[in-house]
Chains A and B, each alone.
Chain A
Amino acid sequence: MGFSRRKFLIGSSAVAGGLVVGCSLLPGRDTIAAYSATAKNGEVALNAWIKIDPTGVVTVAVPRAEMGQGIFTSLSQLIAEELEVDWGSIRAEQAPVDEIYVNSYMLKEGLSFTDGFHRGENTLGAKVMAKIAGILGIQATGGSTSIRDAWEPMRLAGAAGREMLITAAANKWGFPVSQCRAEKGHIIHVPSKQTLGYGELVGLAASLDVPSDPKLKPASEFKVIGKSMKRLDTAQKVNGQAVFGIDVEPEGLLYAAIKTCPVFGGSVKSYDQKAVLGMPGVKAVVPYPAGVAVVADSWWRAKKAIDSLPIEFDDGDNGGLNTDSIFKQFAQELETGDANTYMDVGEAEEFLAKQSDVLEATYKAPYLAHACMEPINCTAKVKDGKVEVWVANQAPTLVKWFAAKAADIDSENVTVHSPFLGGGFGRRIEVDMVIQAVTIANALPGTPIKMIWTREEDFQHDMYRPAALSRFKGTLDEKGNVAAWHNRIVSQAPTFSVMTRFAPAMAMDMSDNTTAQGSADTPYAFPHKHIEHVPVDLPVPVGFWRSVGHSYNAFFSESFMDEMAHKAKKDAYQFRRALLADRKDARDVLDRLAKEAEWDKPLGAGRAKGMALHESFGSIVGQVVEITLSDDKQLSVDRVVSVVDCGVVVNPDTVVAQIESGLIYGLTAAFYGEINIENGQVTQSNFSDYQMIRLSNAPVMETHLAPSGRHLGGVGEIATPPIAPAVTNAIFVAKGERIRELPLIKSGYEVG
């Protein structure tokens, strides 16, 4: 596995043509060119993360995508803390695309589940992964990594800036550095009480050498980190001024509406452009491999024309694909398929074979769509061998590479603009929309083209959360604890599917942690444990959907945990607790959860509580839900209590907001989420048949942050996994019905 992964990573860098230099932890001044180039109104860049203007306003380069998670704010807090600046003087902006902003953390999640990295250690494997990430140079947002990745470099950038400003002031005054300190955007000479503002010093400071070992503040002195600083993006999001991808308006803009072959892998056989070229405002009809675009002087005119365009599609080989046949294939693979093993403790299979009383259950999860509120769109302009792209994206480096490929130019000649994302959730790490928009724009050189998908196209051409089947076998010891636990999962492998799009030559049958995460890495200790996954190759494009494999594996594992507790005739809380003897952090979360949710206090008739505990992305979340359930399956999720240990908390209110957000995202899927395929195409088309939770059926949420002092964890995805099993475990308590398949509406539940 180690060999193939390495080969794939280095190979993909070669394929993508990106030979980049790895970065040291705190790069020198020669690495700030990209950010310096953005300076305006007298701003001076101190390093690749900080610009200061003559009035002392500090602008922070945020190298990660703001898709709602509050990253503009929390990453700016890291700088503000070390640089010693008032929050009111801080602005945030999207960083340019540059190797310096590589996300060196994302690949680490690919390390074996037994690697100490997953428990917060900086292992050799983690260092190697960071090195490889540095070579690849991919700037990307995903895997709940932003804070974990930025925690050192951005604080160091702030600290280096502070030290340079202190030195600049000391030099200017002729005082020793040791007599000067930084406070609220000023350097103070302590003995004489003289002060100089950062705006007055930044020019001088920028000419100094970057300190090689800037001193970070101890946590006990934090004034900004750990505080709910006001979000920097809120004001513009309440008055319509925030610019999302779909809002960009380069001069001379034309608009494109598209129709892609609804069958996966299909193509265009023929179309009759004469039928639409005379329609009002229509400028051009442009084919791309899987579909056709109409370009017009307004999007609505383009849309009307594409709806009128006679197109004959070639369905290719997949016209017979449907969800039933896929699940039949999964069932077969569950019996006979070759599996990758992700965790193997003791001898689970041998042990279970000798037991007479084995509990067995098979669970099922559907394909899901991301359904970002901002429909997929991209604006592109091709002119004189250069490409300019405006797109809400999670990976500007990939945007750059694939825009270059689509226009057949060198990636150095691509400029990427990254406005706000109207939701990402993993969908916008893909670049299909970039390839399409650049292909269309390439046919009309010099004219910027804004391509916008309809919501129907968005549902039909997502890269879906994989559907999955999962079978458990478990047995108890004489004390009623789990003695053996065996889980075999069948699904498509998202990383493989993503690779077929990004680097097809390198896509291979390889180990993929995302298929087993949430099962292989649960915090419970079982004497015998075996987790394996059978990868299935299908033409349905699958990808990374908020919390990825955790999104279904948590439902499977935490449901079966409840089944085992029931078999042991034990309380769900106590049963879990007994299996966490060597995990004080997880036990503490569980204990706090039981206390906050008053687990021992029964609810009235027709009401019940359910519990789930899940560790993902380096954090632990416990949830208790309270439901009301009628005899005719009217279900209301009334209240959700969450307890969260994500280690260091940078912005408590943002973390709470992400817990609320992740929880609603997971609950929406548990209630309604299902993408079906008939005749090779997705049957869902809009929010009318892919329903959403709304105000009327959103639960009351109570979130408790309970940092244990463990290592820094992720936040954006961690509340999504446990909510489904918490709800279905409550349904079992209320009615004795064990839900082994999602969504709940499929089992006849009415959810508001």
Chain B
Amino acid sequence: MLRFKVNGKERQVDVEEDTPLLWVLRDNLGLPGTKFGCGVSECGACTVHVDGEAVRSCSFPVSDAAGKNITTIEGLDPESKHPLQEAWVKHEVPQCGYCQSGMIMSAAALLKENPSPTDEQINEEVTNVCRCGTYSRVRAAIHTAAGNEKGGA
């Protein structure tokens, strides 16, 4: 039995230790907001926070999460009013929306580390794939959430 906290709540699961955290969240814990995209840490659709760090959960064995705090898109903000979520709405970032949970979680981890990132720093940290090509709006929304409407420093 593995125990950890997900979005502030104690959870326990009885699965094989090598099960990726992604599938535990989706299939065992009923949190489908985190998405499967590639299975090999290439696209970032499955990004969640483990003890505050952005992690690609499709390649993160659930055993490594034992005893840790996990945050998914469902738990980013109790009222869906994280500055990034509000900026995402303002800039109408999502199109199909499938990659956006991971995109927002990557950006949230970046802003926690670096509250006012430059374009270059955004490029380095938010490497998620969006097949709808929402990149320019993702960038604008991150700057907005950082309180930096004008763009990178």
Q: Does B45 contact A (CB under 8 A)?
A: yes
| Contacting pair B136 A698 (CB below 8 A) | yes
In the complex, which of the residues B30, B37, B127, B132 contacts A694, with contact meaning CB atoms closer than 8 Å?
A: B127
Contacts of B33 in A (CB 8 A): 239-241
Q: Does B114 contact A (CB under 8 A)?
A: no
Q: Does B60 contact A (CB under 8 A)?
A: no
A150-158, A244-252, A563-571, A642-650 - interface stretch? A244-252
Contacts of A425 in B (CB 8 A): 131
Q: Which residues B37-82 have CB closer than 8 A to chain A?
A: 37-40, 42-43, 45, 72-74, 76-77, 80
Q: Does A745 contact B (CB under 8 A)?
A: no
What distance in Å separates the Cβ of A664 from its nearest Cβ neighbour in chain B? 3
A415-423, A528-536, A595-603 - interface stretch? A415-423
Q: Does A514 contact B (CB under 8 A)?
A: no
Q: Which residues B96-134 have CB closer than 8 A to chain A?
A: 96-101, 104, 122-124, 126-134
Q: Which 7 pairs between the two chains have the least Cβ-Cβ distance?
A: A240-B33, A664-B133, A422-B98, A68-B95, A237-B97, A68-B96, A240-B73
Q: List 20 A-B contacts (CB under 8 A).
A: A66-B96, A234-B93, A235-B80, A238-B80, A239-B77, A242-B97, A246-B32, A298-B28, A299-B23, A373-B131, A421-B96, A422-B99, A424-B96, A657-B134, A660-B133, A662-B133, A686-B39, A687-B129, A695-B135, A698-B133
What distance in Å separates the Cβ of B114 from its nearest Cβ neighbour in chain A? 15
| Contacting pair A455 B127 (CB below 8 A) | no
In the complex, which of the residues B23, B72, B84, B139 contacts A300, with contact meaning CB atoms closer than 8 Å?
A: B23
Q: Which residues A191-248 have CB closer than 8 A to chain B?
A: 230-231, 233-244, 246-247
Contacts of B93 in A (CB 8 A): 234, 238
Give the interface SS of chain A, mostly helix, strand, loop or mixed: loop
A interface residue numbers (CB < 8 A to B): 66-70, 230-231, 233-244, 246-247, 249, 255, 280, 298-301, 304, 371-375, 420-425, 452, 454-456, 653-654, 657, 660-665, 668, 686-688, 692-696, 698, 700-701
A456 to B40 alpha-carbon distance, docked (Å): 10
A425 and chain B: residue at smallest CB distance? B131
Knowing A249-B32, A695-B122, the reply to whether A661 touches B133 (Cβ < 8 A) is yes
Contacts of B28 in A (CB 8 A): 298
> Beta-carbon contacts of B132-144 to A below 8 Å, as 1s and 0s?
1111111100000
| Contacting pair B38 A455 (CB below 8 A) | yes
Interface centre among B36, B72, B132 (most CB of A within 10 A): B132
Interface centre among B74, B77, B136 (most CB of A within 10 A): B136
Contacts of B95 in A (CB 8 A): 68-70, 657, 661
| Contacting pair B43 A373 (CB below 8 A) | yes
| Contacting pair A657 B92 (CB below 8 A) | yes
In the complex, which of the residues A280, A452, A661 contacts B132, with contact meaning CB atoms closer than 8 Å?
A: A661
| Contacting pair A701 B136 (CB below 8 A) | yes
Contacts of A660 in B (CB 8 A): 133-134, 136-137
What distance in Å separates the Cβ of A549 from its nearest Cβ neighbour in chain B? 21
| Contacting pair B94 A423 (CB below 8 A) | no
| Contacting pair A299 B35 (CB below 8 A) | no
A687 to B33 alpha-carbon distance, docked (Å): 21
Contacts of B36 in A (CB 8 A): 246, 375, 452
Contacts of B15 in A (CB 8 A): 298, 300
Contacts of B101 in A (CB 8 A): 240
Contacts of A663 in B (CB 8 A): 133
Contacts of A301 in B (CB 8 A): 16
Contacts of A456 in B (CB 8 A): 39
B135 and chain A: residue at smallest CB distance? A698
What distance in Å separates the Cβ of A25 from its nearest Cβ neighbour in chain B? 31
Knowing A70-B95, A423-B98, the reply to whether A373 touches B45 (Cβ < 8 A) is yes
Contacts of B122 in A (CB 8 A): 695
| Contacting pair B128 A694 (CB below 8 A) | yes
B interface residue numbers (CB < 8 A to A): 15-16, 19-20, 23, 26-28, 30-40, 42-43, 45, 72-74, 76-77, 80, 84-85, 88-89, 92-101, 104, 122-124, 126-139
| Contacting pair B133 A239 (CB below 8 A) | no
| Contacting pair B135 A422 (CB below 8 A) | no
What distance in Å separates the Cβ of A674 from its nearest Cβ neighbour in chain B? 17
Can you add 4 more A-B contacts, CB < 8 Å, to A237-B100, A687-B43, A694-B123?
Answer: A238-B89, A300-B15, A694-B127, A700-B136
What distance in Å separates the Cβ of A548 from its nearest Cβ neighbour in chain B? 17
Contacts of A657 in B (CB 8 A): 92, 95, 134, 137
What distance in Å separates the Cβ of A247 from its nearest Cβ neighbour in chain B? 4
| Contacting pair A661 B94 (CB below 8 A) | no
| Contacting pair A687 B96 (CB below 8 A) | no
In the complex, which of the residues B20, B42, B85 contacts A687, with contact meaning CB atoms closer than 8 Å?
A: B42
A301 to B34 alpha-carbon distance, docked (Å): 19
A455 and chain B: residue at smallest CB distance? B38
Knowing A455-B37, A687-B38, A701-B136, the reply to whether A373 touches B27 (Cβ < 8 A) is no
A657 to B133 alpha-carbon distance, docked (Å): 9
Contacts of A237 in B (CB 8 A): 94, 97, 100
| Contacting pair A372 B127 (CB below 8 A) | no
A174 to B36 alpha-carbon distance, docked (Å): 59
A700 to B28 alpha-carbon distance, docked (Å): 41
A239 to B101 alpha-carbon distance, docked (Å): 7
A455 to B35 alpha-carbon distance, docked (Å): 13
A687 to B97 alpha-carbon distance, docked (Å): 19
Contacts of A231 in B (CB 8 A): 92, 94
A67 to B97 alpha-carbon distance, docked (Å): 8
A248 and chain B: residue at smallest CB distance? B32
What distance in Å separates the Cβ of B36 from its nearest Cβ neighbour in chain A? 6
What distance in Å separates the Cβ of A165 from its nearest Cβ neighbour in chain B? 31
Knowing A692-B131, A695-B127, the reply to whether A373 touches B99 (Cβ < 8 A) is yes
A371 to B96 alpha-carbon distance, docked (Å): 13
A663 to B134 alpha-carbon distance, docked (Å): 11
In the complex, which of the residues A454, A662, A693 contacts B135, with contact meaning CB atoms closer than 8 Å?
A: A693
A371 to B92 alpha-carbon distance, docked (Å): 23
A301 to B18 alpha-carbon distance, docked (Å): 10
What distance in Å separates the Cβ of A542 from its nearest Cβ neighbour in chain B? 20
| Contacting pair B23 A240 (CB below 8 A) | no
A662 to B134 alpha-carbon distance, docked (Å): 10
Contacts of A371 in B (CB 8 A): 131
Contacts of A693 in B (CB 8 A): 133, 135
A236 and chain B: residue at smallest CB distance? B97
Contacts of B96 in A (CB 8 A): 66-68, 372-374, 420-424
| Contacting pair B34 A240 (CB below 8 A) | yes
B130 and chain A: residue at smallest CB distance? A373
What distance in Å separates the Cβ of A69 from its nearest Cβ neighbour in chain B? 7
Contacts of B32 in A (CB 8 A): 240, 243, 246-247, 249
A668 to B136 alpha-carbon distance, docked (Å): 15
Interface centre among B97, B127, B138 (most CB of A within 10 A): B97
A686 to B58 alpha-carbon distance, docked (Å): 14
Contacts of B97 in A (CB 8 A): 68, 233, 236-237, 242, 244, 420, 422
| Contacting pair B72 A240 (CB below 8 A) | yes
| Contacting pair A238 B43 (CB below 8 A) | no
What distance in Å separates the Cβ of B46 from its nearest Cβ neighbour in chain A? 11
| Contacting pair B127 A238 (CB below 8 A) | no
A371 to B37 alpha-carbon distance, docked (Å): 10
What distance in Å separates the Cβ of B25 from its nearest Cβ neighbour in chain A? 10
What distance in Å separates the Cβ of B119 from its nearest Cβ neighbour in chain A? 9
A280 to B124 alpha-carbon distance, docked (Å): 40
A622 to B128 alpha-carbon distance, docked (Å): 29
B27 and chain A: residue at smallest CB distance? A298
In the complex, which of the residues B31, B42, B92, B127 contacts A688, with contact meaning CB atoms closer than 8 Å?
A: B42
A242 to B37 alpha-carbon distance, docked (Å): 16
Contacts of A664 in B (CB 8 A): 132-133, 135
